[in-house]
Amino acid sequence: MSKERLYLYDTTLRDGQQTQGVQFSVPEKIAIAEALDAIGIDYIEGGWPGANPTDSDFFAARPETRATLTAFGMTKRAGRSAANDDVLAAVMNAATPAVCLVGKTHDYHVTTALGITLAENLENIRASVAHMVAQGREALFDAEHFFDGYKANPDYALDCCRTAYAAGARWVVLCDTNGGTLPDEIGTITRAVIAAGVPGDHLGIHTHDDTGTAVANTLAAVLAGARQIQGTLNGLGERCGNANLTTLIPTLLLKEPFRSLFETGVSEEKLKSVTRLSRRLDDILNRVPLRSAPYVGASAFAHKAGLHASAILKDPSTYEHVAPDCVGNTRLIPMSNQAGQSNLRARLKGMGIEIDPKDPRLAEILDEIKAREDRGYAYDGAQASFELVARRVLGLCPEFFEVKRYRVIVERRKNRYDQMVTMSEAVVVVKVGGEKMLSVSESMDAEGHDRGPVNALSKALVKDLGPYQSLISDIKLVDFRVRITQGGTEAVTRVIIDSEDGHGARWSTVGVSANIVDASFEALLDAIWWKLIRDGAEAV
Amino acid sequence: MSKERLYLYDTTLRDGQQTQGVQFSVPEKIAIAEALDAIGIDYIEGGWPGANPTDSDFFAARPETRATLTAFGMTKRAGRSAANDDVLAAVMNAATPAVCLVGKTHDYHVTTALGITLAENLENIRASVAHMVAQGREALFDAEHFFDGYKANPDYALDCCRTAYAAGARWVVLCDTNGGTLPDEIGTITRAVIAAGVPGDHLGIHTHDDTGTAVANTLAAVLAGARQIQGTLNGLGERCGNANLTTLIPTLLLKEPFRSLFETGVSEEKLKSVTRLSRRLDDILNRVPLRSAPYVGASAFAHKAGLHASAILKDPSTYEHVAPDCVGNTRLIPMSNQAGQSNLRARLKGMGIEIDPKDPRLAEILDEIKAREDRGYAYDGAQASFELVARRVLGLCPEFFEVKRYRVIVERRKNRYDQMVTMSEAVVVVKVGGEKMLSVSESMDAEGHDRGPVNALSKALVKDLGPYQSLISDIKLVDFRVRITQGGTEAVTRVIIDSEDGHGARWSTVGVSANIVDASFEALLDAIWWKLIRDGAEAV
């Protein structure tokens, strides 16, 4: 049986921009459009030209894409022709091959929000779509509030869809604008639309996650016959966000019945880049990636339970519904005091250390980890520090250098212009192979702003480590997380640091102390130590 | 028609603890159990006694709950009786009214992971459940890998469920352990189980979010007939997490067809605390709450699109599927408009400040708050700092004293006994009236342990404030939370401090800076300032 084609429509650059705290620049929009194009998305909605200067600029500077670039707008207003509607003209002027126009389909919204008659609204839909088609554009009609509208007045909501279709719309997109519809209802209503005369291969689905079912709603519409899927990367979007394409794409390609029934523009090979695509968006937005995200999250294939981890070692399918490499993600067997020795052996193996299952040092390592966790350490987010603990027990951790002392000063006072300013200064004294080295650093960044005591310490620590300098000079501190936690009976500070090298490799380390500077220093030191081991440095 | 009862089963303290980076302490487990009990959860699964020392300690120290406290464990192993299985004995010894035992139902797992015959596994299920029932416990059977097992060998998977039910299990819980099953299949298979003889009112559903459909899967099972729902707060859990109860509970109470068909232990009144419950868990875990979370996220009722915001002002139902106050959440509309200002007036009134609705300073305050939020401040959890911002704009904030400068030193070095030790010292210089006062403090606690630079600063700051001393001497720093967040384009540190006076009153303040010491100092200063205002101090 030949597979039916499903079309993927991305609205990260338009609906995704409605996310609180998100505001893309033009270069960011271009970078995202290129990434979407590379993975095989069919339509890229770039924004609403005319409504937003950045969106207009994006269309002016748009990249070449294989995907159909689409401008968003709304149907013409009543009392003027489509050709004379300036909002529509701005959309037209973006000169994209496709245009998506949103229009009302819920009678209440037509009469109260627009204040026009139901017939006028139908005519606005018809004339706007026909105008776009006459100008040679592929026209899409976003049926706003469609599901709520259908429940209030099914005939009218269906009339709106039929009108758009009859006027030449390539796609009529059923929008659950308020995000309140549940999967069963989505399926039932989608089937009703097809029965009313808009064929499924001209129907799209656009859902929001206000009940946590945006993905399931989308799948329900596809099973009911819709053939275009609208969504965003990482589920960005107004309120709770849109249907998440980084979840939907793997499901469509990997899971039954979708895998057997449909094909999309994303190949199995391209699917392997979906994790990278998801992280890339977070990178651009400077957001911390959601660890628990389906398929692409750092925890999506993390097996913390001891029983799970030991089964995974025998056969990954025991606790994984798909293989992580299908989506370019990786399996993680984290350490924690729920973990058994099988977790530990797997983890050590991942570090290149083979240990006999009967080796008594396995228990010794677990005891050491547990004792440290009781003091406030946490190792499932700090694999590099875990490795160092294990290596120390196993005698596989060279003594590269010794920290003799450090001192940090934070001072806030008036500068010569009578402004209050803060400065931080750190001195670190280390002994490398018999030689004592003193380093001092301030915490100022390139613009002269204080970045705080940990920054100063970090810079002083890596300033001069003699023979190791070439190995540590590309270490960059990329994230820093602080938690006040319980260590024994006292509150202590736990610091987790993510570091990155020049090749983009990342590792995480942990430090714990009642003193936040001390905790940070410990994590910084672990980060350097781990890098030296990984790069095969030898103690001098 | 009378409504059918749905039972809510929370496993935050067990499956939720499988989340990467989550490790509850006993006091945290107790606090969470009490919060779950307060909202009306039916069953609270506290952990696996015997497998994990914290879980055993929690059961020993367990709070009184109306909810049925449940211990988790696994069915007995082959080759011994239920009474002689030490794992089962540890679960029994937790002395909870209910016990949930997980057992295999997928033939492949029985023969390969357990290495026993299918018949032996059935007998393990039967004997374990019967043993619990004989001891007067309510028994639950978690049918592990049930959906995958059913697809591989439906007869055997059903046999496992029927065996548990026949042995007296109150609930047979269908677990989608690997999280790979999609909603339609969940519904179909759940119906098959009921047809095979386990009644729906003895069936539970336990789903994971590996395809982003855990909530929809749960709803599909309920529509198919299952009457117990397992999930976790905020969707914590192994890999991508479990079904999110903070999403499911509002849907069950507010959305059709569930609202009409079912009742739960959560009243509509209690539902108003679900947002607070969700935030409380994040607080305990020091996680940044997910803004986009359905119902309870800070963005769940945020209307960023201009068209949406203006429609919302006319009629909230235009862009909200439920009203935010049903779930104790709040609508968020761009601060500049009318709705933002009336919110603000209500908040000021709560502080005893009455402002005319036409006062232009309302807009000024909103602008100032917005500008500060852009720099990383957060005022939701820092009411006292919010009040100070408003008072400064209104000219209602006396200048009690001026901080001229401060300096903190953190030093780590060897002491005279050749041990590495850390010490912190702070100097604070303030001007009160015309008088300059210098204070210095170390950070040592009563046992001589360093408590860090913020502790030293705090002590130096309150050491001598001249005429205000009597008002501040009873201030105690009770909690201190640190988050790395985004301020403009740079990462900054946000510190929130909870203070308490001698009468047990508490207030919270916030500070933000790239420098954690600076951020802490700002929050400390706000805490003192707010107390002086509340106690009616006058500037000297």
Strand pairing report for B420-432 and B402-414? antiparallel
> Confidence class of residue B373 from pLDDT cuts 50, 70 and 90?
confident
Q: What average pLDDT is seen over chain B?
A: 91
Among A111, A170, A110, residue whose Cα is nearest residue A145:
A110
Give the residue-averaged pLDDT of B353-378. Answer: 86
At residue A119, the pLDDT reads 97
Q: Which residues of B touch A210 (CB under 8 A)?
A: 294-295, 300, 321
Q: How many other CB atoms are found less than 10 A from the CB of residue A438?
A: 13
The answer to whether A66 faces chain B, any CB pair under 8 Å, is no
B405/A424 touch (CB, cutoff 8 Å), yes or no:
no
Give the residue-averaged pLDDT of B185-214. Answer: 98
pLDDT in tens, A476-501: 887 777 877 765 556 788 898 888 88
Tokens encoding B404 = 């001229």
Give the residue-averaged pLDDT of A260-276. Answer: 97
- Window 360-389 of A: residues touching B by CB (8 A cutoff) are 373, 378, 380-381
- Distance from the Cα of B446 to chain A's closest Cα (Å) equals 12
At residue A447, the pLDDT reads 78
Q: Rounded to two decimals, what is the model's pTM?
A: 0.79
The residue with tokens 């591989």 is B152
The answer to whether B255 faces chain A, any CB pair under 8 Å, is yes
Pick B247's closest partner by Cβ from A212, A238, A486: A212
Q: What percent of chain A has pLDDT over 70?
A: 97
At residue A9, the pLDDT reads 98
Q: Which residues of A touch B113 (CB under 8 A)?
A: 311, 314, 318
At residue B316, the pLDDT reads 85
Higher pLDDT, B302 or A30: A30
Give the residue-averaged pLDDT of A300-314. Answer: 79
Task: Locate the chain B residue with the closest alpha carbon to A487.
Answer: B25
- Window 226-245 of B: residues touching A by CB (8 A cutoff) are 235, 238-241, 244
Pick A484's closest partner by Cβ from B209, B286, B295: B286
At residue A350, the pLDDT reads 83
Q: What is the dihedral of CA B253, B259, B264, B267, to 10 degrees?
A: 50
B486 pLDDT more than 70: no
B209/A294 touch (CB, cutoff 8 Å), yes or no:
yes
DSSP letters along B39-67, please? HT-SEEEEE-TTT-HHHHHHHHTPPP-SS
Higher pLDDT, B396 or B314: B396
A18 pLDDT more than 90: no
B184/A223 touch (CB, cutoff 8 Å), yes or no:
yes
Alpha carbon of residue B540 to chain centroid: 44
B436 pLDDT more than 90: yes
The residue with tokens 């949930």 is B100
> Confidence class of residue A309 from pLDDT cuts 50, 70 and 90?
confident
Alpha carbon of residue B78 to chain centroid: 39
Distance separating alpha carbons of residues A49 and A57, to the nearest angstrom: 8
* B-interface mutation test, from A15, A188, A516, most B Cβ less than 10 A away: A516
Q: Which residues of A touch B314 (CB under 8 A)?
A: 112-113
The residue with tokens 């916030």 is B510
Contact residues for B295 (Cβ-Cβ < 8 A; gap 6+): A210, A211, B246, B247, B250, B274, B275, B322, B327, B329
Which CATH architecture is the domain A402-534 placed in? 2-Layer Sandwich (3.30)
pLDDT in tens, B206-243: 999 999 999 999 999 999 999 999 999 999 999 999 99
Pick B319's closest partner by Cβ from A178, A223, A244: A178
pLDDT in tens, B155-168: 999 999 999 999 99
> Confidence class of residue A338 from pLDDT cuts 50, 70 and 90?
low
Strand order in the sheet with A420-432: A435-442, A420-432, A402-414, B402-414, B420-432, B435-442
Distance separating alpha carbons of residues A373 and B173, to the nearest angstrom: 33
Task: Locate the chain A residue with the closest alpha carbon to B495.
Answer: A482
- Window 79-138 of A: residues touching B by CB (8 A cutoff) are 109, 112-113
The torsion angles phi and psi of A169, rounded to 5 degrees, stand at -65, 130
Q: What percent of chain B has pLDDT over 70?
A: 96
> Confidence class of residue A334 from pLDDT cuts 50, 70 and 90?
low
At residue B380, the pLDDT reads 66
Q: What average pLDDT is seen over chain A?
A: 92
> Confidence class of residue A218 from pLDDT cuts 50, 70 and 90?
very high
Amino acid at site A365: I
The torsion angles phi and psi of B205, rounded to 5 degrees, stand at -130, 135
At residue A257, the pLDDT reads 97
Assess whether the region B4-285 and the region B402-534 belong to the same CATH fold: no
Tokens encoding A212 = 């946590």
Higher pLDDT, B339 or B58: B58
Task: Locate the chain A residue with the closest alpha carbon to B317.
Answer: A178
Tokens encoding B259 = 């609202």
CATH entry 3.40.50.2300 includes domain B4-285: no
Q: How many other CB atoms are found less than 10 A from the CB of residue A538?
A: 9
Higher pLDDT, B485 or A383: A383
At residue A404, the pLDDT reads 95
Give the residue-averaged pLDDT of B363-374. Answer: 85
When mean pLDDT is compared over A86-95, B381-390, B488-497, the highest value belongs to A86-95
Higher pLDDT, B70 or B485: B70
> Confidence class of residue B337 from pLDDT cuts 50, 70 and 90?
very low
- Distance from the Cα of B354 to chain A's closest Cα (Å) equals 31
The residue with tokens 């899409």 is A140
| Beta bridge partners of residue B430, listed in sequence order | B403, B437
Choices 3.40.50.720, 3.40.190.10, 1.10.260.40, 3.20.20.70: CATH for A4-266: 3.20.20.70
B240/A292 touch (CB, cutoff 8 Å), yes or no:
yes
> Confidence class of residue A357 from pLDDT cuts 50, 70 and 90?
confident
Give the residue-averaged pLDDT of B352-376. Answer: 86
At residue B4, the pLDDT reads 97
Judged on CB neighbours under 10 Å (0-12, 13-18, 19+), A507 is buried
- Window 447-466 of A: residues touching B by CB (8 A cutoff) are 449-455
The answer to whether B404 faces chain A, any CB pair under 8 Å, is yes
Distance separating alpha carbons of residues B181 and B462, to the nearest angstrom: 59
When mean pLDDT is compared over A157-166, A330-339, B460-469, the highest value belongs to A157-166
Please say whether the beta carbons of A424 and B521 come within 8 A: no
Give the residue-averaged pLDDT of A247-270. Answer: 98
* A-interface mutation test, from B278, B412, B489, most A Cβ less than 10 A away: B412
Amino acid at site A31: A
Q: How far is CA A50 from CA A76, A91, A93, A94, A141, in A?
A: 14, 7, 9, 9, 18
Annotated domain spans of chain B:
4-285, 316-394, 402-534
Alpha carbon of residue B534 to chain centroid: 31
Please say whether the beta carbons of A252 and A262 come within 8 A: yes
Distance separating alpha carbons of residues B447 and A24, to the nearest angstrom: 53
The answer to whether B436 faces chain A, any CB pair under 8 Å, is no
Q: How many residues does chain A have?
A: 540
- Distance from the Cα of B408 to chain A's closest Cα (Å) equals 5
Q: What is the dihedral of CA B294, B298, B300, B302, to 10 degrees?
A: -170
| Total beta-carbon pairs less than 8 A apart between chain A and chain B | 308
Give the residue-averaged pLDDT of B453-475. Answer: 90
The answer to whether A526 faces chain B, any CB pair under 8 Å, is no
Please say whether the beta carbons of B513 and A422 come within 8 A: yes
At residue B8, the pLDDT reads 98
A24 pLDDT more than 90: no
The answer to whether A291 faces chain B, any CB pair under 8 Å, is yes
> Confidence class of residue B340 from pLDDT cuts 50, 70 and 90?
low
Dmax (CA) for chain A in angstroms is 89
Amino acid at site B496: I
3-state class (DSSP) for residue A468: helix
Q: What is the dihedral of CA B458, B460, B461, B464, to 10 degrees?
A: 140
Q: What is the dihedral of CA B79, B83, B88, B92, to 10 degrees?
A: 180
> Confidence class of residue B336 from pLDDT cuts 50, 70 and 90?
very low
Pick B223's closest partner by Cβ from A184, A454, A521: A184
The residue with tokens 């049925």 is B68
Q: Which residues of A touch B513 (CB under 8 A)?
A: 422, 452
* A-interface mutation test, from B146, B240, B413, B476, most A Cβ less than 10 A away: B240
Strand pairing report for A98-104 and A68-74? parallel
